[in-house]
Structure 1
Amino acid sequence: MSQRSAGPEILRLIELMSRLPGFGPRSARRAALFLLKRSDTLLLPLAEVMSDAGHRIEKCEICGNYDTLQPCAVCQSGGRDEGLICVVEDVPDLWA
């Protein structure tokens, strides 16, 4: 996409989306245009949810899980055996 065909806001959206896993410049451009075509039904609600997540979700100080609670729901669980340790590489492994 040339500088003449897209404004700086669109180019910034594409650039940021291209940083997501599995997104190169072309797929980021396609996804950005898809979102822009569905601004009211997808882009704006997604932006709101992402902003909320950025402000409310934190990394648990005990286990590193992501949650709005501190400590997270896993660490607060009454059924959790605190005598056992579960070692995982990353958060997606914890959610599996």
Structure 2
Amino acid sequence: MNLIIKLPPKAERDDIVKAWVSGVKQGDNFAEFRSLLQGMVDTGYNHNGIACLFLHESTTKLIRHQLSKEVNSEHLEIALALPIGFN
């Protein structure tokens, strides 16, 4: 069986990266990130496509790069050594 997954466009990926990094910087509950994901689902993207885009190697590299530029913490290296995931 083939499963067709509609991936969001690159602009959406950039918004995801910004929202995730903002959530880490602010130490909040990722409200902006969750709202963005819900908006994407509401406009027709399925959960699998969003998860594939978010967990794709290129996206996680962008997130790690942005975090290393914007967050000044001695714990950042430890945090970036762990896989990025979301529930």
Normalising by structure 1, report the TM-score. 0.26
Greater helix proportion: 2
Larger radius of gyration: 1
Which of structures 1 and 2 has the larger relative contact order (alpha carbons within 8 angstroms, sep 6+)? 2
Greater strand proportion: 1
